[in-house]
Chain A
Amino acid sequence: MTDQLENLLRAHVANPFFVLGLSPAAPAAEVERQAQRLLSELAAELADARRYRTPFGEYERTPELVRSAVAELRDPARRLRHEWWARGTTEPA
């Protein structure tokens, strides 16, 4: 049961908007630009790029996570769902 809850938590904190450090309102072009920038910084081993903030703490950012995040946001239906969670989590009710 704890494993399942850990997976749920991981899914929430790996929201692509958190991973990319973007607002849920960010347009597609900005998503692509930010992903490229983060991948370059990770390749250059910049310390700041290795962590990302969420309302629930800091987590490790990897190139795989960035690629996966940008792929998720390219699909409009998936983006809609991630946007709904990210918006709800970061904005007051």
Chain B
Amino acid sequence: MTADSLSRVRVAAPPAGRGGAGVGVQAVIRAAVWTVVWATILRNIGASVGVWAAGSLSAAVTILIGVAVPLWLFVFFPSWLAWRVAQPLGMPVVAAAASWMSPLVRMRDLHSISVFMAVAAGRPFPPRDELPADAWIALAAALQGDGGAGVRAARIADALAHLPAGARFPRLARSHGVEVVMLAALRRRDWAAAARWSDLGRGRLVGLLALIARAGAGSDVSARSLWLRWALAPARRATLPLVRAVVSRPMAPVAPAPALPAPTDAASSSVHARHVTLIAAAARDQPVSTGDVAALASAWRRALDEAAMARLHARALELDVRNGAEQARALRERVLGELAALLSVSHGEAPATARSDDFDAELASRVRQRQLDDVRDALRPLDPDAASHPLEAWERWLALRAVLERIDQHAGRAASAALWYGNVRDPLWRWSCALFHQHGAAAGWVAVAVFDWVANRAEYVGDMVAMLANRENARAALAVAR
């Protein structure tokens, strides 16, 4: 074993995070301020109510005023103020102060929350060098640009839905963060994106938004249950137009991008039109299902049969094109190439095919070659010597993960194992260790996810050495990410 391979097996002891002592002092100051402020408030409430009531209150009312109300004020009021009042009204300073006063917000999340709120308010994403990588920043990245939709956001949602045990996804991020992303998707009437995010969320508002997404997508949701959930959920003013819209008229599925109306009725049944429609969807980062591409490939097999090629030859003769066979082959090659491009970006299991002919074999061969190219392209940015921000590194890893998982779905375990040992294992492992060594605690959250995924992947292909070492690495990263 070389020195290089030894260095990538395990990560060193967790490096100290930047400004660790400073954060500790700030946390102590924060706890002291909480104590002073809330003790003063509690004392004033107790004194005022005690003098006013003069011993006339029952035990229950005393407990309500002396315990329940102050407890709500202390625990829930600051985050309510931040997310239900300050954030919707565009008061970032009040929101930041309220978050600072909330015991539900950890000190390390304050900066990330303010970044998320800024992005939600339409302000630009700050320079990534100054940011930690965590669930809040990931949500902000999903919200940025395409507002929670598109392949990038879908990838982030999927990664957040499959965080390893122990990786933090704060409760407030699950409720307030996911709500903002869902609202952005629903306002664009992107029901599928909203439904995807709802799986990650918690709370009454997320429940209402999930119901709106289901109703908008055409599911059978009664108006009564929608209005009931609306009445029970917070942010009623913001959600009223959405509820009214889905209750008042049946909604169409996801609206296509404005510049791309669906093909005309006459053309919609043609294989050519379906082909271009799927290319258009993929080019616009809209999810394309493997089943749809497989059905298209099957239709192409019929459309490129001998009779169709004979018609093409006849037309070639009319146009005085001498090499009609070559032209037919060129068209078939182009169709196969474009189908391979579509399959390599498609999602979902490949349906089992009953038949296997030259067309299938050639398509499978092209897809394999393309997948290899995709893996190489996704591995290229994972350079252990080039410093990249943890969030950027996370997104690059997500791109590689998406490529490899697609290959799992399309090609199966044997192909994934061959790819793992031949192309992926060493560069990915070296890069993940380098990422953690370079950034320490700032990359802890990302490193936990990456190491855990590498360990799972190693287990999937039977690489026990990599599995055990990366489980250890994940534990080391988790120690600084908590």
Contacts and interface: CB of A to CB of B under 8 A. Distances in A.
Contacts of B276: 9, 12-13, 55-56, 89
Q: How many interface residues does chain B have, given as a range?
A: 35 or more
Nearest to A7: B283
B279 A81 contact: no
Contact of A89 (B260, B261, B272, B312): B272
Given A84-B331, A91-B266, A56 B280 contact: yes
B259 A83 contact: no
Given A5-B345, A89-B270, A93-B269, A80 B283 contact: no
Nearest to A88: B272
Interface string B310-350: 00100110011101100100110000001001101100000
A47 interface: no
Contacts of B279: 5, 8-9, 12
A74 to B, nearest CB: 11
A90 B272 CA distance: 8
Interface in B245-285: 259-261, 263-264, 266-267, 269-273, 276-277, 279-280, 282-283, 285
Interface string B53-65: 0000000000000
Contact of B341 (A8, A56, A81, A92): A8
Interface string A1-22: 1101110110011000000000
A77 interface: yes
Contacts of A90: 264, 266-267, 270, 273
Nearest to A28: B319
Interface string A74-87: 00110111011100
A56 B330 contact: no
Contact of B259 (A4, A8, A58, A77): A58
Contacts of B377: 1
Interface string B285-306: 1000000000000000001000
Contacts of A80: 312, 315-316, 319, 321, 324, 327
A29 B481 CA distance: 72
A84 B312 contact: yes
Max chain B CB contacts within 10 Å: which of A83, A89, A91? Answer: A89
B374 interface: yes
A91 B273 CA distance: 9
A8 B320 contact: no
29 contacts: A1-B345, A2-B283, A4-B341, A12-B279, A55-B264, A55-B273, A55-B276, A56-B261, A56-B280, A58-B259, A59-B259, A76-B319, A76-B321, A77-B323, A80-B321, A84-B312, A84-B315, A84-B331, A88-B270, A88-B273, A88-B303, A89-B270, A89-B272, A90-B270, A91-B266, A91-B267, A92-B266, A92-B269, A93-B271
Interface of A: 1-2, 4-6, 8-9, 12-13, 55-59, 76-77, 79-81, 83-85, 88-93
7 interchain residue pairs of minimum CB distance: A88-B272, A5-B283, A55-B263, A89-B272, A76-B319, A9-B283, A6-B283
